[in-house]
Structure 1
Amino acid sequence: MNFRIFGIGLALALAAVGPAAVARQELEILEQVPDLPGAPYFSWKTGLQLIQGSHSIAPLAPIRVGGTRQLLLDKYIVDSTWNCFRTVHAPERYSGNPVIKPVDDPKVPSGGPQYYASVFYDEITKRFRVWGANSDRGVYFESGDGFNWTAPKLNLVDWKGSKENNLFFGGDGYGVHSFSVIELPQRLRSKGRFALLYFRFAEGKRPETGHTSETRIAFSEDGIHFKDQVENPAIRGRSDTPNNLVYNPERDVFMMYRRATVNAHEIRRIAYSESKDLVTWTQPRVVLDPDELDAPMLYGMTVTRYQGVYLGFLQMFYSGNAGYSTGPRLYRDVIVDKEFHIDIQLAWSRDGIHWERHPGRPIFMKTGLYGTYDWGRVYVNHGVVDTGRQIYLYYRGAAGLHIKMPGNESTFCLATLRRDGFVSLDTPGTGYMLTRPLLCPGGKLRINARTDPGGFIRVAVRRGDGDADGQWLRGWYFDDGPVFSGDATDAVLAWNNAPDLSRLKDRTIRLHFWMEKAQLYSFGFAE
């Protein structure tokens, strides 16, 4: 990828003063600011919109961004935009899918994880790891590069008279699937390094016990040898969906996503429960329910924490008419040709409880072409892997519909996105974006962006504190900084008066982006 950054303005004016003197200097206000092209009402020359001189303004608490890259999914960091529009970007399927191929070996279940799996890149072993389900048993695979996977012989679970296989869980008269594996925080490491959330049910009918559907917790130090906690089941009741577990470090709680068991007529909705200790769970409550723009059912949702945001890969289940004997049900989104298909929308949340989606409800991952390995259904597995330049999303691709039909196999597949590439803020011509007040952490401003031919991105720094909110800073205006053009996931922007933002560290500022024919995916501060 090629990109260009051109410096504009004078050379570093304060270089000879020294860092100590620079730190003591007050920030100078830029009194005269020219109007910019494109947007009406941008009359900045008189400062008519600013509140300087008010009797008493209590400053807002700034957003503490730290070193976290700021995604532009929502209005969390964005205060105002003009002529900018959010775009949800679909991942690109790997041409070598499925990445785990079926095998002809009677000692092991054929193929990879055929049901809901959990993917994790282990920073200790430097390997990709996946826990999934096949033939109602837990299967385990590893990879050094995320493309070529191996099935280690674990000698743990019997399969047709042999333990020479990669089964790590299940058996003993019970079937298991829907695996979600996370690392435990330090306060619970006495239980092991990993926690496993899984769904268990009895094989065969058990009329003496009624239903046997349970969501359970197990622990392991190595991610191979799991042992159930004594306080199981965590939650009893049917939830044959990708149940998944996410740790919330801001509130130090574990968040479980499952189906809603109490319902008007349909269980396929997204319910939430949380726990401090993985033993006592809150009563599940619905956090996502089909509305007037949705498919009739929300089959499930896998959730992953990524750069301070909780991303939800919401499974849209088109089952409105043929599957029920209670009479026809109309599709709310009128997509009747997708009966019994499942595809993915992208959702996001800042707390894991209150969820948002793009108002246009675009499909994030569509099902494939007829006759391909994922024509019928796609399910994004639990876990997002950030490789630096790309995001790896592993998903379950099903060749058939959500009904019994021949050739309805599921496979373990890969799709990729550019880093932070879930949603971009775009302008087809001239656009502007102003952030909310944020506490400058210092370091260098870095952006992930792409421009069309003739396009560019410029950035100015404004004050964001109290009655000084919005004042333009001398040396930090658009003309004092760089012009970015091209395509880069980690471009460094620097102003002519300073190599970084150390002079503004711990001050409340706003960033003002001027974009021409550009896509902005994220920005952040780092050395």
Structure 2
Amino acid sequence: GDNQRRYPAFSPDGFHWTFPHVPGIPSEDTSQIFYDDLNNRFGAIVKQRTEWGRSAWLTISDDFDEWTDPILVMHTDEVDQANRRERIRKVVEDPNYLSPPHIDEETDFIAQLYQMPVMSYEGQYIGFPLLFNPAGLDLPQMNNVGINQTEIAISRDLYHWERVGNREIFLGIEPWDGINYGTCQVSVCGSPIVRDDEIWIFYGACRFRGVPDSYPSEYAEYFNDMGALELAKLRLDGFVSMDASSTGSIVTKPMELNGQEIFINAEAPDGEIRVAVVDPETMMPLTGYTTSNCYPVRGDQISGKVSWPAGPLSVERPVKLLFELSNARLYSFWLES
């Protein structure tokens, strides 16, 4: 078999498969295929090498048969390399976590992008890059030991990606207790699923990276049960948030308001959020649309309505929205006609 390519296949029942005679998609051991419902086509993020090691490449197909040549869309950088050092240090120094069995402090390993599942969401794409942080050599497998954890990225077109959330860990490894599986690797399995008011994220959890002989004997029995499929649940829009532990403000880019209703997804169980409509140049609020006369949004709101006594605003020039948060967390806002 050719383990350096991915080949399309078709089946009417899941048991009988037909392989068209087409070139396979070049990829190393992990790849993620998804349906791009924003453009009615298929996409795949495959793994190929760059000077930054394992990296993410994109290929597109209109018919799941013929695929474009892969194009590089994301690799790691110096920030990831610095994060690698800190993340390895954390698991080595914290006795609650399982340390990689070999620690090479003299080699400044490159952090690598192991894979990146993608989902389309609210008119854009959410990526889940799996960052591999090597810690030392795994000579029996001619590889490296280390940890794999998932971050977040967004894109409007699949080709240009922005790493968000300050590159903080989205799905991280768990402490070792002999029960948890995700003590070494947590990797999202394909596109997450939106169900009612939740986002369901299935992910693979793995206890070890390396051969049994590399670890102390007390872990030997766990190699017979070293991985599991797990499920994480997220509120709608809950990938990242803007938080104010006391008070804070957020100003949007200029936009047009033509009588639409404004809604927010927010948590403010012990606080509130108010909104003003302001002039984009002077930042002065429009009459009747200040934060002081905005009805406060409180509590846990998946779809909380923002309103003023004057009702929805219709204005001929662009405006900005000014959000004032008091002990609150804002996930998203949107307009509805």
Please indicate, yes or no, whether the TM-score normalized by the shorter chain is above 0.5.
yes
Partner of 1:356: 162
SS class of match (1:319): strand
Partner of 2:267: 450
Is the 2:45–2:117 contact (alpha carbons within 8 Å) kept by the matching residues of 1?
yes
Q: Where do 1:48-127 residues align within 5 Å?
A: none
Which one of the candidate residues 238, 255, 258 is aligned to 2:43?
Answer: 255
Measured after TM superposition, the shift of residue 281 of structure 1 is 3.2
Q: Deviations over 1:161-195 (max 9, x none)?
A: xxxxxxxxxxxxxxxxxxxxxxxxxxxxxxxxxxx
Which one of the candidate residues 122, 127, 133 is aligned to 1:318?
Answer: 133
Q: Deviations over 1:429-481 (max 9, x none)?
A: 3322121122446443211112363x3211122356xxx88564322222332
In 2: Cα distance, 1:265 partner to 1:489 partner: 40
- Whether 1:511 aligns to 2:317 is no
Letter in 2 for 1:303: V
Which one of the candidate residues 73, 88, 95 is aligned to 1:287?
Answer: 73
Which one of the candidate residues 116, 119, 123 is aligned to 1:308?
Answer: 123
SS class of match (1:383): coil
Q: Where do 1:414-493 residues align within 5 Å?
A: 414-440=231-257, 442-451=259-268, 453=270, 455-462=271-278, 472-493=285-306
Is the 2:246–2:327 contact (alpha carbons within 8 Å) kept by the matching residues of 1?
yes
Is the 1:217–1:233 contact (alpha carbons within 8 Å) kept by the matching residues of 2?
no
- Whether 1:346 aligns to 2:162 is no
Which one of the candidate residues 24, 30, 39 is aligned to 1:241?
Answer: 30
In 2: Cα distance, 1:508 partner to 1:382 partner: 39
Letter in 1 for 2:276: A
TM-score calculated relative to the size of structure 1: 0.50
In 2: Cα distance, 1:353 partner to 1:276 partner: 16
Would the alpha carbon gap of residues 422 and 477 (structure 1) be closer, same or farther in structure 2, given more than 3 Å must change?
same
Measured after TM superposition, the shift of residue 507 of structure 1 is 6.8
SS class of match (2:188): strand
Identity %: 28
Which one of the candidate residues 494, 499, 517 is aligned to 2:307?
Answer: 494
Measured after TM superposition, the shift of residue 245 of structure 1 is 2.6
Q: Which has the higher contact order (CA 8 A, sep 6+)?
A: 1
Higher helix share: 2
- Whether 1:215 aligns to 2:31 is no
Q: Which has the larger radius of gyration?
A: 1
- Structure 1: segments with no counterpart, 5+ residues: 1-201, 203-210, 330-338
Q: Where do 1:394-405 residues align within 5 Å?
A: 394-403=202-211
In 2: Cα distance, 1:238 partner to 1:357 partner: 23
Partner of 1:412: 229
In 1: Cα distance, 2:151 partner to 2:298 partner: 31
Would the alpha carbon gap of residues 293 and 472 (structure 1) be closer, same or farther in structure 2, given more than 3 Å must change?
closer
- Structure 2: segments with no counterpart, 5+ residues: 85-110, 213-219
Partner of 1:379: 187
- Whether 1:368 aligns to 2:174 is yes
Is the 2:279–2:286 contact (alpha carbons within 8 Å) kept by the matching residues of 1?
yes
Partner of 2:88: none
Partner of 1:136: none
Would the alpha carbon gap of residues 484 and 258 (structure 1) be closer, same or farther in structure 2, given more than 3 Å must change?
same
- Whether 1:232 aligns to 2:22 is yes
Is the 1:376–1:402 contact (alpha carbons within 8 Å) kept by the matching residues of 2?
no
In 2: Cα distance, 1:231 partner to 1:440 partner: 53
SS class of match (2:8): strand
SS class of match (1:293): helix
TM-score calculated relative to the size of structure 2: 0.75
